[in-house]
Amino acid sequence: MSKATAVRAPGEVLTHRQTLTVMVGLMLGMFLSSLDQTIVSTSIYTIANDLDGLSLQAWATTAYLITSTVSTPLYGKLSDIFGRRPLYLTAILVFLAGSLYAGAVHSMTELAIARGIQGLGAGGLLALALTIIGDIVSLKDRAKYQGYFMSVFGISSVLGPVIGGAFAGTASILGFDGWRWVFFINLPIGIAALVVVFLFLHLPPRHVKQKIDYWGAAAITLAIVPLLLVAEQGRVWGWNSGGAWLCYGLGAVGIALFLAAEKFAGDYALIPLRLFRNATFGLSSLLNFIIGIGMFGAIAMLPMYLQLVKGLTPTEAGLVMITFTVGILSGSITAGRTISASGTFRVFPILGTAILTAAALVMGFTLGVDTPLWVPGLIAVFFGVGLGFCMQPLTLAMQVSVPPKDMGVGTSTAAFFRSMGGAAGTAVFISMLFSLAADKIGAGMKSAVSNADYIKVMRDPAVASDPANAKLFDFFKNGASNDSLNDTSWLHAANSTLTRPITEGFAQSIDVVMLTAAVLTGIAFLISFALPNKKLTDPAAAAKAREEVAAH
C-alpha cells in the first residue's frame, strides 16, 4: 500500500500519518458545517438591507436549520448502506453548490433557497466525519481523535461571528460585496476538504442489499419541518397563533407516523427502534436532546448579554467568547485522552452536566449591567469545558452501543438529537428573553420616571435634540414590547443614563433565562447517573476476536 494514499482494505489499519491526513479533510468539512451556523448571524442584517428583504431575513436561518437537521439521519442510514466516502463527498459538493449560489443571490428569497441547499450538505458533514473516524481507528484511539473534532466545533462557533462581522463591515473585497465572502470563504476550504478526502480516504466498497426507508424519511420530514419552523418563527407569529397550532399538529402527526413507519420497517428503518432498547443508546439520545436545549440556549445568551447589556459589537463579543474555545479544547481533549486510556466514559457526562449547571447558576445570579467583562469570559470557559465533557463522550457511547453495521445511524442520531435540542433551546430562550425583557423594561422605566435626576436628564434640551437619542425617545413613546425591541441597534449610542432601565431589564431577563437553563442541565445531570457504569468496548474489535477464535 502506498504511504501517500490511505487505502484501507477490510481488516487493515491506517498508519498514524495516514489517519492524520484523512482527519485534515474531515475536520475541514466539519469546520464548514459548524462555521456556517454562526458566521451568517452577524452579517444577516447587512445582507438583508442590501437585498431589500429585512422582513425575510429569518427565513435564511430557518431554511438552513430545517434542511441540515432533517438530512442528518438520512446521511447516517444511507452511509450504512452505500458507504461513507461517496456520501461524504456528496455532502461537500452539495454544500459548495449552495455556498456558491448564496454568494451570488440577488434577493432574500434566493438566499433562503441557497441556504436550504447548504443545509442539505451540512447535514452530512458533522455526523459522517465522526462516523468515518469510527471506521478507520480503533476505540482505543477514537476518543482522542474525536476530541479534536469537538474542538473544531468550539473554534468555529467563536470564529463565525468575528469573521462574519468583518466581512459584513467591508464594502467590497476583490470586486464583490463584502458580505458575499461570508459564503465564498467556504469554497477554498471545501475544495481542500474535497481533494483530501477524494485522494486519501479509500474505504472498502459497501453496498448492503437493503430496502430504503422512504416512508420513515417522509414521516420524519413531516415531523421536523413544522416543529423547527414554529421554533424559529413562533415569536413572530405568536405561540398561540393559528399558524403555530397548525405546526404543532403536523409535528405530532409526523412523530406518530414516524414511529409507526419505523416499527413496520424493522431492521431497515431510518432510525431502528431496537437501538433504543440499549440503555446506553437510549439515555445518551435523551441527554443529547436535553443538553442541547439547555446548553445551546445558554450559549446563545452569552453573546446576547455582551451585545445588549455591555454594548459590544458582534465582532467584539466573538473575541470575548474565545475563552469558550479554550474551555471546549480543554474539555474535549481531556475527555478524549482519558476515555482512550481507560475506556471509562460515564464520569464525563456527569461532570459535564454538573459544570454546565453550575456555570448557568453563576451566570443567572451574577451578571448585571456593571459586571466586569472578565466574569462572562470566565463563565464561557466553564461552558466550554462542560460542552467538551458531554458532546464527545455521549457520541462515542452511542457509536459503540450499536452493531458495526449501524455505526452511521448511531453517530447521526447523536447529532440529530443534539441539533433538535439546540434549535428548540435557542428559539425558546430567545423568545423568553424578549418576552421577559418587555415586562422588566416597562417596570424599570416606570420606576425611573419617579426619579428626579432621571427626569432632569430626559428634559435636558441638549439630550432631546441629540440625533443619537431620536430612536430612544420614539421607544419611550411606543413603550416596551416585542415589536419595539426587534431593533436595538440604537441602544448604546443613546444617552447611557436614559437607557439604564433598558439594559437593566435585559440583564435581569438574561438572568432568568440562565436559571431556567440551569434547571434543564440539572435534570440532565440527574439522568446521567442512570448511564451504565461500564467500560466502552469496540464492537468491531470484539467481532474480529470472535472470528479469530472460531478460526482456530
Rg (CA), the chain: 24
What percentage of the chain has pLDDT greater than the value 90? Answer: 19
Q: Which long-range contacts (CB under 8 A, 24 or more apart) does 110-117 make?
A: 111/47, 111/51, 111/53, 111/60, 112/56, 112/59, 112/60, 112/62, 112/63, 113/63, 114/183, 115/40, 115/60, 115/61, 115/63, 115/64, 116/63, 116/64, 116/66, 116/67, 117/67
Strand partners, 172: 177
* Overall average pLDDT of the 499-503 stretch: 85
- pLDDT tens digits for range 146-191: 777 777 777 777 778 778 878 877 888 888 888 899 899 999 999 9
What integer is the mean pLDDT of 250-270?
88
pLDDT digits (tens, 9 = 90+) for 353-371: 999 999 999 999 998 888 9
The set of cell numbers assigned to 479 is 413603550
What pLDDT does residue 546 have?
54
CA separation for the pair 475, 526 (Å, rounded): 44
Query: Quick one: how far is CA 189 from the chain centroid?
Result: 20
Q: Please state the rounded mean pLDDT for residues 472-478.
A: 76
Q: What is the pLDDT of residue 365?
A: 92
Please check whether residue 487 is in contact with residue 439, taking contact to mean a CB–CB distance below 8 angstroms. Answer: no
For residue 245, what pLDDT band results from cuts at 50, 70 and 90? very high
pLDDT at 292: 83
Q: Please answer whether residues 146 and 391 qualify as being in contact, where contact means their C-beta atoms are separated by less than 8 angstroms.
A: no
Residue 59 has, within 13 A of its CA and on its CB side, a CA count of: 13
Express as a percent the part of the chain with pLDDT over 70.
88
Residue 153 CA: distances (Å) to CA of 32, 85, 125, 394? 10, 21, 12, 15
Which sequence spans correspond to the domains of the chain? 7-210, 214-268, 278-435+514-540, 438-510
* pLDDT of 99 higher than 90: yes
pLDDT at 19 over 80: no
Domain 278-435+514-540 fold is: Growth Hormone; Chain: A; (1.20.1250)
Cell of residue 232, nine digits:
424559529
pLDDT greater than 50 at residue 2: no
Task: Indicate the DSSP class of residue 172.
Answer: E
Tell me, letter by letter, the H, E, C secondary structure of 146-180: HHHHHHHHHHHHHHHHHHHHHHHCCCEECCEEHHH
For residues 201 and 25, the answer to whether their CB atoms sit within 8 Å is yes
Q: Which contacts qualify for 464-467: CB closer than 8 Å, 24 or more apart?
A: 466/495
Return the pLDDT at 361: 94
Decide which of 249 and 549 is more confident: 249
Q: Which residue has the higher pLDDT, 552 or 172?
A: 172
Lowest-confidence pick of 165-169, 184-188, 207-211, 467-471: 207-211
Mean per-residue pLDDT of the chain? 81
| Predicted local confidence at residue 469, as pLDDT | 77
Q: Do domains 7-210 and 278-435+514-540 have the same CATH topology?
A: yes
Per-residue pLDDT at 297: 67
CA quadruple 504, 505, 510, 512: dihedral sign:
positive
Mean pLDDT of 436-454: 83
Fold designation for 7-210: Growth Hormone; Chain: A; (1.20.1250)
pLDDT of residue 12: 46
Average pLDDT for 249-266: 90
Region 96-106: mean pLDDT is 92
The amino acid that residue 27 corresponds to is M
The highest-confidence range among 29-43, 250-264, 291-305, by mean pLDDT, is 250-264
- Please give the pLDDT value at position 378: 92
Burial of 207 (0-12, 13-18, 19+ CB in 10 A): exposed
**pLDDT digit string, tens, across residues 21-64:** 888 888 888 888 888 877 887 677 678 777 876 556 667 777 88
- Residue 518's DSSP bridge partners are none
The whole-number pLDDT of residue 348 equals 93
pLDDT for the residue 480:
64
Contact in structure between 379 and 359 (CB atoms under 8 Å):
yes
Question: How far apart (Å, rounded) are the C-alpha atoms in residues 329 and 337?
Answer: 12
Which of 9, 58, 6 shows the shortest CA–CA distance to 199?
6
